[in-house]
Every structure is written in structure tokens, then in C-alpha cells.
Amino acid sequence: MRILVTGATGTLGGALVPALLKAGHEVRALSRTKRDDRGNVEWVWGDLISGNGVREAVDGVEAIAHLATSGRRGRGAVDVPGTRTLMILAHAAGVPHVLFTSMVGADRAAYGHLWHKLEAELLVQESGLGWTILRATPFHQWLHRRLRDYASLPVLPVDRSLPWQPVHTGEVATRAAALLSAGPAHREIEYGGPQVLNTEELVRTWLRASGLRRACLPVRYPGRLYAAQRAGDLTTDAAPKGEITWHDYLMPPPPVLSDDFASEHTASPTSPATQPEQDPDLHVYGGDEGYERPTRS
């Protein structure tokens, strides 16, 4: 099956592309930067916001994995207008299946960036195409980068009342690849990590793994989104769950030989697929999800 992946250079995209190739699919990756084809991946140029190049990108594909997002600071520029453009052009091209990656809690706490995710979900559901919504909890990799931003502070602000359920992108990618292979589910599917931790547990494990000593200052974050998180709206009991814990992501056990390409190449935090911060393009739209800086042609 030929599958178009938007956000292929992002955190999840970097894990999904090898998972799809391992499953025997042909991968076409959408990028705002012109790239040469490599590693059995066909790279095509396109801009989800303007729509330029997207018609050509969707032509001839049998499924779309729509991962691209503006992120928490991008004000929905890709999530809503970009998804609308993609759905219109995909419908015109007769694409049978669109898998859209969203976030756990988008339907229960539609505030801020989660509101944009919910709006994009509705656009996918009302597109007239076969669809699947995969809602994931926050990625290990995203939390790791967020905590690293605070590493220079002598004291870390910690809201002990906030639960987190981090999940590894490699496992989300494996789940997404299986859903794409299975065809349209016409439902929302939640996928979370194996543990629910409070912020202090999360931070202290990270400090230990990073070899840092910092005091933790108790705080209570205000706002409706944090209130929803405090109430457990951003965690899930859905099964199956991921298996890689926050501790094992930060301090992985000795590697075990495996014939699972996706696991081998995405499970370690030192894998290039889990280090998108090395690419400066990925920070422009608030994004850890692969929507890149425009470039001059």
C-alpha cells in the first residue's frame, strides 16, 4: 500500500516511516523542504497551509497518515486550515483512508491546542473518506525536551497534582502502522503509556537520569487545561497500552536483539529518529511534529 505521511520529519513521523517500510508499505513523505528520495522513501514538496503541491502529493496514494501539526504554540495553522485543505484534496483524489493523530483528552478538555485537535478531528470525520483517529498521550521525547528547557534553573517548579502518562513514539508508530494496515476504523482510538505518574515522580526520575541535583518547588498551575489534566482527562485506560516506561526510556536496559525494525531504530532515546531537536526546522511552528520552516526555492 502506498501511504502519504505528513509530518514525516517530526517526532512521530521519524518513527512511523521505518515502521511502515518494515510492514512492506511504500512511503511518500510530504515536506516543505525539497529533499531527494532516500531509503525507499519518496519525498514530495508541499505546503498544507497554502495547499501548493498537496494535490500532487495525494494523487495515487491508498492511505494518508496525517501527523503534521502546529504544536502547542502554533495557533492551529496546520491543525485546522491545513487539515481542511488536505481533506478536500484527498476526497477529490479518492483516497480511501485517512489516519489522523490527535491527543488523549481532545474530546474532554477542548481548550487551547486541544481545541484545535478536536476541530481537526471533526474535519477528518466529516470529510467523506474512510477515517481513523489515533489519540495518544504525551510522548516521552516531548517531555524530555520540555524538562531539559528547565535544566539551567536552580529550582524546578513542580505541580504534584498533575498526572502524566508518557508513551514512546516508537510504540505509537507501531500502533499507527497496524491501524493503517487494517483500514478505516471509523472511530477514535486512544493509546497511552504503561504508567500514570505525578509531576514530582516524572521530574525526579528525569533528574536522576540526567545526573542533576535540583530542588523541586511545589506550585499549582492555573487554567482550565491544567484543571482538566488534574481531573485525569488527559490520561486513558484504553488497551492495549505502551510497554516502555518513563524510567526505561531515560535509562534503557541493555539492548536485546530483535527482528522488529521499528523497535530497534526508535526505542532508544539516542536514536536519530527520537532526536528531532537536531533539525532546527522542527521548532518553527511550536512543533515537535514535523511542520517545517518555509524555504526559498
Number of domains the chain contains: 1
Domain annotation covers residue 122: yes
Domain annotation covers residue 262: no
pTM of the full structure: 0.84
Domain annotation covers residue 23: yes
Domain annotation covers residue 123: yes
Q: What is the mean pLDDT of residues 244-254?
A: 94
**pLDDT tens digits, 259-283:** 654 555 554 444 434 444 434 334 3
**pLDDT tens digits, 108-157:** 998 988 999 999 999 999 999 999 999 999 999 999 999 999 999 999 99
**pLDDT tens digits, 7-62:** 998 999 999 999 999 999 999 999 887 777 777 899 999 999 899 999 999 999 99
Domain annotation covers residue 142: yes
Domain annotation covers residue 34: yes
Bridge partners for 197 per DSSP: 164
Structural domain range at position 213:
2-250
CATH number at residue 12: 3.40.50.720
Domain annotation covers residue 263: no
Domain annotation covers residue 278: no
